[in-house]
Amino acid sequence: MDLIRPHGGELIDLFSIDGARDARDLPSWDLNARQLCDIELLMNGAFSPLTGFMGKADYERVLADMRLADGTLWPLPVTLDVSEAFAAGVEPGARVALRDPEGVLVAVLEVADKWQPHRTAEAQKAFGTKDVTHPAVDYLLNRSGPVYLGGRVLGVEAPSHYDFATLRDTPAEMRAKFSKWGWRRVVAFQTRNPMHRAHLEITHRAARQVEANLLIHPVVGLTNPGDIDHYSRVRCYEHLLKRYPEQTTTLSLLHLAMRMGGPREALLHAIVRKNYGCTHFIVGRDHAGVGDYYGPYEAQELLAKFESELGIAIVPFEMMVFVQERAEYVPMGEVREGETVLNISGTEFRRRLQQGLEIEDWFSYPEVVAELRKTHPPKNKQGFTVFFTGLSGAGKSTIANALMVKLLELGGRSVTLLDGDLVRKHLSSELGFSKKHRDINIRRIGYVASEITKAGGVAICAPIAPYRQTRRDVREEVSEFGGFIEVHVATALETCEARDRKGLYAKARAGVIKEFTGISDPYEEPEQAEITIHTEDCSPDEAAQRILLKLEALGYL
C-alpha cells in the first residue's frame, strides 16, 4: 500500500474573497500572540481543511472524538476566545475585523457561532488534565476569554515577520520549492529546541531509512514557556544545516502556537506537515509532551493508528543515546549489555549553560554551543533584580542604598535603584494608594526591572508592594530574563510605627492619611522570599552583606 500523496492534498485559500470590504466600520478584535499564530496558519492553508475558527459543532466533535463535524480527522480545537464585553456586541451573522497589536487588519471573521465553552471540560478532553501547570490548561483556564466566536475567516493581510523572512514559507511556497528541487519524498522534523548531535543523528537516519529529503521545520510561534528563544535557535539550526550532505536538507520556520498537547498535538503536527507537502513525519519520544501528562510513546501509538487516514507516513524514533565504547549515537533499544551510555537532558544542558560549564563535543557542535552561550551567558554575566518588600518605614530604602553602593564597588554591571518614593515621583506621580493604583505602580516597577535585567544590569526595587499576586507576577516577568531575589524586610508594624520617621503612621492613625499599609490597608506577607531581614537585630550593612552572600550562593556574583 502506498499511502503517500506527494505534496499534500488540496490547500484552503482564505484570501479568495475580499475580506477588507467595509472593514473600517466593523467591531475590531485585537488578536493576542496565540491567536495571531493560529490565524496565520489558518490563512496560509497550514490548517487545511479548516476555513476559519471552529464553530460549536466542530469544537464539540473534535473534543469528543478528534474529528470535525463532517468526520475529518482533527485533534485539537482552533477557536477564537474573546472577552464577555466584546462578545456582547457581536451576534451570529455579524462580521468582525481581526487586527494585530498595531491595529493592522489581518482578516475578517464572519461570525457563525457564539458560545460559552466549559473550559475545564475542554482542558480535560483536549489535554487529558485540568492541572494549570500544563501550559495550555493555564492559557485556557487563566488567560483565555470566556466566549468563543466561530466562523469563516476572510484573509486580508498575512501577519508580517521581520525576522528570518527568507526562512519562512507558506505551504504553497514550500510545495513549489519541493517540486522545483525534484524532492518527491520529504521527511519533516518538528522541534522547539536547539538541535544537537542526537537530533542530527535522528534526522539523518530517518531520511536514509525512508530515502527522503529532509525538512527541518522548527516551531517559532509559541512554544513551552522557558524554552530557548527562537532567534538563538534559528541561528543554531543554520549552523547545523551545514553538517548535512549538500542538497539533502532544508530549513523552514513554522509560526505555530504549540499547546504541548502530546499525542493530540502530534496528530496536528502531522496534518500541518502533510499540508506543507511532506510525505513523512518524524515522531520521537514524548512528542510535544510536557511534564508527565503523556506516556513517552503515546504520540507514536496514536499516529500509527491513524497513519493511513492521515495521508502522511509516520517515522517513529526511539531516543538516541551516545555509546561511549562505540563513540556513536544509537537508538536506546540498540544499546548492548555492558555499554556505557552518555546523555545530557535538556535540564542538565541548561544548567551547564547557566553555570558556564563544559559541554562536550559528543553532545553538540562547538558552533552551536558558542551560539547558545552568546545569548545564554552564565549566571555571573546575567542581569538580576533584588526586590525589597515591607511596610513603610521598615528600612527597605536604607538597605537598598547600602546594597547599591556595595554592588557598584564590586563593579561589572550597571545598577539602578527603583526606590518606592523615587518611583512615585518620577514614574507614578499620578497614582494614589488604592489597590488598583498600587498594582499599577508595582507592575511599572516590574516592567522597568525586567528590561534592566534583560539588558544585563541590576535593578534594586524598594516599594512596599503589599500584594502577593502582584509580586508573583513581577517575579515571573523578571525571571524570564535573569535572577529575581525577593527580600522581605520584616520589621514589625509596632517598630515601624514607633520609629515613624516621616510622621505618616501618626497621620494614618488620626485618619488624615487613608488606606495606609498596615494600619488601614493590608500587607500580605511573602511566602517565598529568598531572604527575610529583621532590622531589629541586623544593621543595614549586615543586611546588605547577607544579600550579597545570597547572590554569591545563587551564582550571580
Interface with ligand PPS in residues 516-535 (CB under 6 A):
516-517, 521
How many residues line the site for ligand PPS (CB under 6 A)?
Answer: 21
H helices, E strands: number in the chain:
19, 19
150 and 59 Cβ atoms separated by less than 8 Å = yes
Angle in degrees, CA 162, 164, 167, rounded to 5: 130
| Choices 44-52, 177-185, 306-314, 458-466 (CB under 6 A): range interacting with ligand PPS | 458-466
Q: Is there binding between residue 463 and ligand PPS (CB under 6 A)?
A: yes
Cβ-proximal residues to 59 (8 Å cutoff; 6+ apart), any chain: 77, 79, 117, 148, 150
Least distance CB 394 / ligand PPS (angstroms): 7
Q: Is there binding between residue 504 and ligand PPS (CB under 6 A)?
A: yes
**How many Cα neighbours within 13 Å face the side chain of 66?**
18
Of positions 502, 511, 522, 528, contacts ligand PPS by CB under 6 A: 502
Amino acid at 161: H
Of positions 191, 392, 453, 491, contacts ligand PPS by CB under 6 A: 392
Q: How far apart (Å, rounded) are the C-alpha atoms in residues 485 and 457? A: 14
Residue with cell 491595529: 103
Q: Which is nearer to ligand PPS, 236 or 404 (CB)?
A: 404
Q: Is there binding between residue 433 and ligand PPS (CB under 6 A)?
A: yes
Q: Which is nearer to ligand PPS, 253 or 504 (CB)?
A: 504
Least distance CB 472 / ligand PPS (angstroms): 15
Interface with ligand PPS in residues 401-430 (CB under 6 A):
420-421, 424
Q: Which is nearer to ligand PPS, 368 or 391 (CB)?
A: 391
Strand partners, 218: 191
**How many Cα neighbours within 13 Å face the side chain of 305?**
12
Amino acid at 331: P
Active-site annotation holder among 32, 51, 72, 193: 193
Q: Is there binding between residue 442 and ligand PPS (CB under 6 A)?
A: yes
**Chain residue at closest Cβ approach to ligand PPS:** 420
Least distance CB 388 / ligand PPS (angstroms): 9
Q: Is there binding between residue 161 and ligand PPS (CB under 6 A)?
A: no
Of positions 466, 482, 483, 526, contacts ligand PPS by CB under 6 A: 466
Helices marked H in 97-170 = 119-127, 135-138
Element (H, E) at 249: strand 249-251
68 and 267 Cβ atoms separated by less than 8 Å = no
Q: Is there binding between residue 397 and ligand PPS (CB under 6 A)?
A: yes
Active-site annotation holder among 191, 279, 470, 517: 191
Active-site annotation holder among 119, 192, 273, 413: 192
Q: Is the dihedral of CA 127, 133, 139, 141 positive or negative?
A: positive
Least distance CB 7 / ligand PPS (angstroms): 59
| Choices 13-21, 296-304, 316-324, 514-522 (CB under 6 A): range interacting with ligand PPS | 514-522
Q: Which is nearer to ligand PPS, 44 or 397 (CB)?
A: 397
Q: Note if 517 is an active site residue.
A: no
Least distance CB 438 / ligand PPS (angstroms): 4
**How many Cα neighbours within 13 Å face the side chain of 511?**
0
**How many Cα neighbours within 13 Å face the side chain of 138?**
9
Helices marked H in 118-229 = 119-127, 135-138, 171-181, 197-209
Interface with ligand PPS in residues 258-287 (CB under 6 A):
none
DSSP state string for 162-175: -SSGGGB--HHHHH
Residue with cell 565504547: 325
- Site for ligand PPS, rule CB under 6 A: 392-393, 397, 420-421, 424, 433, 438, 441-442, 463-466, 502, 504, 513, 515-517, 521
Residues assigned a catalytic role:
191-193
